Structure 1
Amino acid sequence: MFGERLQTRRKMMNLTLEQLATKAGTTKSYIWELENKPDIKPSADLVNRLAKELDCTVEHLVHGDGNDEDQVFFREYKSLGSETKNTLQKILKSLKDKPND
């Protein structure tokens, strides 16, 4: 359930209701409602902001599936500047070319 996943992720990130609400641009009481009332349906925009602040994907919050770490990494990678992307690509190439120990 969305509320359980939201609460679990929030606690895993060591965020209070108020801290998450502030970061996501909503209220503490609305976060509480999302976590505890299954009939509450947040907007897609809010779910997206919550996922970003909780360092997970929308799919994880909504459905509880998806390869979260890879998707979060790729989302963050896409927002980087070209110089940083080039640096990361060089690091990845170096790691791939390194023989297995």
Structure 2
Amino acid sequence: MTTPLGNKIRALRKDKGYTLDRLAELADSSKSYIWELENKEPPRPSGDKISKIATALGVTTDYFLTDDVELEDAADQAFYREYRAQRPKTKARLRQMFAVIKDDEQ
């Protein structure tokens, strides 16, 4: 029996073109654990593993654990989390790149 969590993980994994092996490698997990999350109802999935899977798939854990978070919002939140962790010089470069892209679209 699949769960909403399993369905979300499987859909994102396939959208990114990841195999079970690849996602397991990126999330520091095992292929069998990922398969179980996708296909069974585990009693209590590990918060640490869910967090690593979310990071590997470019979303937040909120996307996996709640029904009211849209994929686009989760991806934006994950991007912003990565942005906040950057050094000031890198942040400045990213802002410059965004300004160039924004100008090109107008």
Query: 1:38 is paired with a residue of what secondary structure?
Result: coil
Equivalent position to 1:41, from 39, 44, 47: 44
Q: CA RMSD in A?
A: 2.2
Query: 2:44 is paired with a residue of what secondary structure?
Result: coil
Cα distance in 2, alignment partners of residues 35 and 95 from structure 1: 37
Equivalent position to 1:17, from 20, 36, 58: 20
Equivalent position to 1:51, from 51, 54, 60: 54
Q: Taking structure 1 as the reference length, what is the TM-score of the superposition?
A: 0.82
Cα distance in 2, alignment partners of residues 7 and 18 from structure 1: 13
The aligned counterpart of 1:28 is 31
The aligned counterpart of 1:6 is 9
Cα distance in 2, alignment partners of residues 95 and 12 from structure 1: 25
String of CA shifts for 1:50-86, please: whole Å, max 9, x gaps: 0000011111122241512320221110121110112
Size of the aligned set, in residue pairs, is 99
- Displacement over 4 Å in runs of 4+: 90-96
Provide the identity percentage: 34
Unaligned runs of 5+ in 2: none
The structure whose Rg is larger is 1
